[in-house]
Chains A and B, each alone.
Chain A
Amino acid sequence: MIEINVKTISMYVKVLGGKSKQKMILKENSRIQDLFDALISMYGDDIKETFFEKYETKKSKPGTAMYLNGRNIFALDGLDTELKSEDEFLILPPIAGG
């Protein structure tokens, strides 16, 4: 089994069970898609609606940012990116400006 640290901020905290940080236990060789499946089974379909235009097509909502160990997952293999133990998965809501 592998342990993944899931983090988020702001309005997404509520969707992820009111936790800005949490650990998820997954099977070896899991991918980010598996992590989302696990989160959906814990917190329901709100996860799909909040983060994705259409979950089945793996298309995230515009403005939603996802990082694995600080790297934009869509510059990696998207939801097919493989996870390893102690990875940090960060989801940020639409934020811009500055």
Chain B
Amino acid sequence: MIKGGYMGKVLRVNLSTGKISVEELSEQMAKDFMGGAGFGVKYLYDEVPGNADPLGEENKLIFANGPLSGTATPCASRMAVATKSPQTGTAAVALSGGYFPVEFKYAGYDVLIVEGKSEKPVYLYINDDKVEIRSAEKLWGMDTVDTQILIKHMLHNQNFRIACIGPAGENLSKMASIINERRAFGRKGVGAVMGSKNLKAIAVRGTKEVPIANQEAFKKALNTMLATMKASPILYSEFSKHGSPMVVDACSALGIMPSENFATTGEKDYVPGLGAATSHEAKIAKEPCFRCPVGCSQLKLARGTAKYLSALSDPEYETYFSFGSQNGVDNLDSVIAADALCDRLGLDTVSVGVTIGFAMELFEKGLLTLKDTGGIDLKFGNHEAMVDLIKEIAYKREGLGALLGDGSKVLSEKIGQGSENYAMHVKGLEFPGYDPRGAFAHGLNYATSYCGADHNRGYAIQEIFAIPVPKPYDRFAVEEKGWLTKWNQDMACAVSDCPTVCAFIFDMALFVNGAQNIADMVGAATEINLTPEEVQAVGERVNNLARVFNITAGFTRADDTLPERILTEPIKAGGSKGHYIKKEDFNKMLDDYYAARNWTKEGIPTAEKLEELGIGYAMEKLGK
């Protein structure tokens, strides 16, 4: 029996039948998959066929908290949503912080499974035990800001927290996100899945408490965690002040901040326009997630460029890259405006920015013409065109918006002519802001993560920030990167994605004792006592089960790759000059990765590995 940490309930809503039911969360599920991405991937594996149409009735949206969400644990504000991604066709998770996630838990649930498809636009009303499917016909067509404001008015209650889609999700853009306040379940088109179900929003109010199984042990573990965070050389002293945009300076110094669709990485200096000092000047306030003592999210106001005056948003490093250097843009105001617009329209900033940068290269190469762009001079650096394009993408109706609206992979398939060689995605998911030619394990994670080029599924902190855990690594080395990538992926999943604790505190404070910290905190909250090794095994279990799902969806070793540009073109200048990942080196790293995972040379999990992880039942789906 579950004693604490969890609310013990799974809320299931079928939008086709209107049936709403509540199920018990099993203790075995809690032990094996912990929460968040673990619950999401497990329910996806169990209930959605690998060959399901991501935008069809068979697909599901599984929202899940972790056992520490809503407790006194710092930075545990988060929640995962899992689904079969329309962008990648893989199992996918997107995580968000903010306030919606814990509000859902306070309503008395650990998991929300949305299945089926409503005939008409609806929103889900959850007020503790009272759950209803309500009409959203009036809301359909609204952006995410107005949707949230209006639902609160309609409910005569400003205390509801809302997650919703904007026009991009309604129009089934494969780059659509789900927004709560200014935070996003950002990547892999999760907003399109919500749109395909005609589900505009989820409005939640919760008044329950999360039980703690062992208060004394919890306080002790919490004090240790807080002390470790306080001792960090980065977390409060720097990150709290500057947030993730300070990474512009570090990645620029290392020569890995991608520029102009990765064609000119290292050749141009974006620090004067986008670096920490400039960024800090635009800061007006912090906007922390629930119970976060760090407050890295920083609101910035555009005050310099007439077109963007009064734009207000909290762009992270990835957005400085995607709407900055990726587009050859060093105008911070335009990055702020682009970020605000993406949130409002419900779009993923990374995918949209990378896709526009790709279109700019196509334009400069003559593969997109002035006729295609409707007369827009879509050269690198044209930030006005960049910002104007965002709305067209969200509506996907005609011209460039229709062409770009589903991301880089679809765009390259439409254009052809060798453009796939520099369409910067893996499995359809666009690259984040690190050129893997200067961080090989980071690149191997893009190639092998279960949801495409997703930095958060296995961030190589050893290569990008020289954090010496488990030991120091040379970022250009090929040796040992297979093992390291596995370690990074399993740890990220185990210490962040499953307990739904912010990854930043592990990168900056708890990198040495991350698994021990989660073992102590989760153990005290739930009395499910795991060793640090067993915590890490949760991450490995999830990564293996997601891999099996992807194999049933048709993915093979051939899909675990990187764009030709990364494998053949050396970086021409800067701190990573001359480097690229040679094909033979990439294949060696991939072989090593599969071997470290105890998968076959074709990337299929072995029966021995699945049995060891207690998921031997997955062999059945592999046809063995």
Contacts and interface: CB of A to CB of B under 8 A. Distances in A.
Interface of A: 7, 9-10, 61-67, 70-72, 74-76, 88, 90, 92-98
A65 B466 contact: yes
A76 B317 contact: no
Contact of A71 (B234, B237, B455, B476): B476
A98 B316 contact: yes
A97 B75 CA distance: 14
A70 B212 CA distance: 47
B474 A75 contact: yes
Interface stretch (B77-85, B238-246, B583-591, B595-603): B238-246
Nearest to B455: A98
Contacts of A62: 233
B255 A72 contact: no
B466 A74 contact: yes
A70 B467 contact: no
B473 A70 contact: no
A2 B475 CA distance: 26
B62 to A, nearest CB: 27
Contacts of B461: 96
A93 B466 contact: no
Contact of A63 (B234, B473, B575, B579): B234
A90 B575 contact: yes
Contacts of B296: 97
Contact of B247 (A70, A71, A76, A98): A98
A75 B234 contact: no
Contacts of A97: 239, 243-244, 246-247, 296, 317, 504, 507-508
A41 to B, nearest CB: 25
Given A90-B253, A94-B238, A98-B433, 16 more contacts: A63-B465, A64-B233, A67-B254, A70-B438, A70-B475, A72-B466, A72-B473, A72-B475, A75-B474, A92-B250, A92-B254, A95-B465, A97-B239, A97-B243, A97-B296, A98-B318
Nearest to A93: B238
A73 B126 CA distance: 54
B508 A9 contact: no
B317 A10 contact: no
Contact of B466 (A66, A88, A98): A66
A95 B246 contact: yes
A96 B465 contact: yes
Interface of B: 232-234, 237-239, 243-244, 246-247, 249-251, 253-255, 271, 276, 296, 316-318, 432-434, 438, 455, 459, 461-468, 472-477, 504, 507-508, 575-576, 579
The residue among B250, B461, B473 with the most chain A CB atoms within 10 A of its own CB is: B250
B508 A70 contact: no
Contacts of A63: 232-234, 465, 467
Nearest to B579: A70
A70 B571 CA distance: 13
Given A9-B249, A90-B253, A96 B507 contact: yes
Contacts of A67: 254, 466, 575
Contacts of B455: 98
A7 B254 CA distance: 11
Contacts of A95: 234, 238, 246-247, 249-250, 465
Contacts of B247: 95-98
A76 B466 contact: no
A88 B472 CA distance: 19
B16 to A, nearest CB: 40
A96 B239 CA distance: 7
